[in-house]
Amino acid sequence: MSKLRCHISILLDGFVAGPNQSKENPLGEGGEQLHEWALELEAWRRPHGLDGGEINASTEVMEWSLENLGAIVMGRNMFGGEGPWGDEPWDGWWGDNPPFHMPVFIVTHHAREPVTKEGGTTFTFVTDGIEAALEQARDAAGGKDIGLSGGANVAQQYLKAGLLDEMQLHVVPVLLGAGARLFDNLEDAKIGLDCTRVLEAPGVTHLRYRITRLP
Amino acid sequence: MSKLRCHISILLDGFVAGPNQSKENPLGEGGEQLHEWALELEAWRRPHGLDGGEINASTEVMEWSLENLGAIVMGRNMFGGEGPWGDEPWDGWWGDNPPFHMPVFIVTHHAREPVTKEGGTTFTFVTDGIEAALEQARDAAGGKDIGLSGGANVAQQYLKAGLLDEMQLHVVPVLLGAGARLFDNLEDAKIGLDCTRVLEAPGVTHLRYRITRLP
């Protein structure tokens, strides 16, 4: 069966976003440090429609994160905005041609018609929970894997429910001291982890884990 | 100058001890998982007076953690017990011949005469703060490095004060969900980190960081 895989940048003190996230500051204060390692990579720039860029040890991980991926699930907080959509609904951070180029399913409390963007990206809004979103993503992925994009809250929900199969952490050597932690609210989770890949790269350490459900 | 180096096992969700630490359960509930990777190693068993044991990729890290080390500082919580020492003072978890074999300085609020153990270990109790403890340890170390042994609280104090030079994390693939986090209470710290060594080993990933004080 297709796997649910999470690829997420995380600061050494566990934060995956800084404090005070907003439309102006989607990753929160200091959160831009999460992705500095990626922004200069050719493997990041190409799907974002940009030329040039570096090739280094992170390239392999970045390419692997897109390999065999057929759909994406993300939380409403990562898609952006809050509350009901309103008359001029927020359309994501990514402009007319988002970098996903595949179906994206957004877990939200607020119903909304699907949105079709350029380049193969569709946004579908799922209001009946994380399992329903995963099921729809799995149908859309046609046997390929599903990428879980965050944010912290929805990643915690999938992890805690035992639905996540693999986790690729990009560990950034920064102590931010505040924000949203990936590994919070997991008190009763029965999660087994095996580290399957360790890779050192400029400004980041990539750790991959296979996830099992403990008895 | 001699360096202050921290070597600490940390769970993937950031905990360095489980909840409800006690004399019966010094690492807290579930905290024994922190050190499972080490207990079977020959390099751990030998300084603890035990024969046999494995040699694997962790051996190098374990030996490095003792290399060029002349003294140790630790917090009262790691030494054990709480409050005034009383008439039959707690003497640590480690019996008559503790595995340190060098001078150990314990940061505590409660004054007490030094204790001399077998095998070269001395316990000196320092009541005037982390800087005083480090200064005494540096004198005792005779130019060698000083090891910072935890627990979380005293490690945070040294980190926040910019006194820690190097940090060797042993990252254990376990999500405990509760306990004491190493990277807490660091809101205003100006800490720069460079990852200098990444090593994959059975049941643990070793990450080493050089620490600088940011402007």
Q: Which helix (H) or strand (E) holds A77?
A: helix A76-79
Q: Does residue A35 have a pLDDT over 90?
A: yes
Interface A-B: count of C-beta contacts within 8 A: 66
Q: Residue A205: its chain B contacts at CB < 8 A?
A: 195, 198, 207
* Inter-chain touch B195–A174, beta carbons under 8 Å: no
Name the pLDDT band for A102 (thresholds 50, 70, 90). Answer: very high
Per-residue pLDDT, A1: 77
Q: Sorting pLDDT into bands at 50, 70 and 90, what band is B23?
A: confident
How much is the pLDDT for A193?
Answer: 97
pLDDT of residue B55: 97
CA distance B95 to chain A (A): 34
Q: Tell which residue, A35, A48, A158, has the closest CA to residue A100.
A: A48
Check CB contact under 8 Å for B13 and A175.
no
ipTM: 0.92
Backbone dihedral region for residue B106 (phi beyond 0: left; psi -120 to 50: alpha; all else: beta): beta
Query: What residues contact B133, with CB distance under 8 A and at least 6 apart?
Result: B73, B105, B106, B107, B126
Which parts of chain B fold into alpha helices (H)? 36-39, 42-45, 57-66, 76-79, 130-141, 152-160
Tokens of A181: 């932690």
- A12–B183 CB contact, under 8 Å: yes
Cα–Cα distance for residue pair A144/A2, rounded to 1 Å: 5
pLDDT (tens digit, 9 = 90+) per residue, B131-155? 999 999 999 999 999 999 988 999 9
Nearest of A173, A172, A215, A175 to residue A192 by alpha carbon: A215
A72/chain B closest Cα distance in angstroms: 24
Query: Is A175–B193 a contact, with Cβ atoms under 8 angstroms apart?
Result: yes
Confidence band for A26, pLDDT divided at 50, 70 and 90: confident
The region, left, alpha or beta by phi > 0 then psi within -120 to 50, assigned to residue A204 is: beta
Cβ of B175 and A183 within 8 Å? yes
pLDDT tens digits, A194-207: 999 999 999 999 99
pLDDT value at residue B60:
95
Given A12, A191, A205, which is nearest B175 (Cβ)? A191
pLDDT value of position B188: 76
Q: Which of B14, B193, B194 sits opposite A14 (nearest CB)?
A: B14
Strand-pairing partners, residue A72, are A104, A147
pLDDT at A7: 93
- Please judge whether A198 and B194 are an interchain contact, meaning their C-beta atoms are less than 8 angstroms apart: no
Q: Tell if the CB–CB gap between A193 and B178 is shorter than 8 Å.
A: no
A34-to-A43, A203, B45, B70, B77 alpha-carbon distances in Å: 17, 10, 39, 37, 33
Rama region for A28: left / alpha / beta (φ>0; ψ in -120 to 50; rest): left
Look at residue B49 in the predicted model and tell me its pLDDT. Answer: 85
Residue B149, CB-side half-sphere exposure with 13 Å CA sphere: 21
Distance from CA of B26 to the nearest CA of A (A): 20
Return the pLDDT at A66: 86
Distance from A2 to chain B by nearest Cα, in Å?
24
Q: Which of B88-102, B108-122, B133-147 has the lowest mean pLDDT?
A: B88-102
Q: Which chain B residues have a beta carbon less than 8 Å from that of A12?
A: 183, 193, 209
* Interface-testing mutation among A166, A195, A197, A199, with chain B (most B C-beta atoms within 10 A): A195
Tens digits of residue pLDDT in A59-69: 999 998 889 99
Distance from CA of A21 to the nearest CA of B (A): 17
Helix (H, G, I), strand (E, B) or coil at B139: helix
pLDDT at position A215 is 79
Partners of B159 on chain A (C-beta within 8 Å) are 175
So what's the pLDDT on residue A22?
85
CA distance B40 to B126: 33
Average of per-residue pLDDT values in chain B: 94
Predicted confidence at residue B165, as pLDDT, reads 97
Residue A78, both tokens: 């990562």
Which residues in chain B are contacts of A191 at CB distance < 8 A? 175
**A214 pLDDT more than 90:** no
- pLDDT for res B214: 83
Comparing CB atoms, the residue among B178, B187, B199 nearest residue A177 is B187
Question: Is pLDDT of B203 > 90?
Answer: yes
- Helices A152-160/A130-141 angle, 10° precision: 90
Residues of B in contact with A57 (CB under 8 A): none
pLDDT at A213: 84
Smallest Cβ–Cβ distance between B175 and the set A12, A173, A186 belongs to: A186
**Do residues B8 and B168 touch, judged by C-beta distance below 8 A?**
yes
The model's pLDDT over A8-19, given as tens digits with 9 standing for 90+, comes to 999 999 999 999
Residue A142 has pLDDT above 90, yes or no: yes
> Chain A residue with minimal CA distance to B200?
A198
Position B118, amino acid: E
| C-alpha to C-alpha distance for A160 and B157, rounded to whole angstroms | 32
Name the closest residue on chain B to residue A197, using Cα atoms.
B200
Are the beta carbons of B62 and B9 closer than 8 angstroms?
A: no
Q: Are strands A180-181 and A145-148 parallel, antiparallel or unpaired?
A: unpaired
User: pLDDT at residue B73 above 80?
Assistant: yes
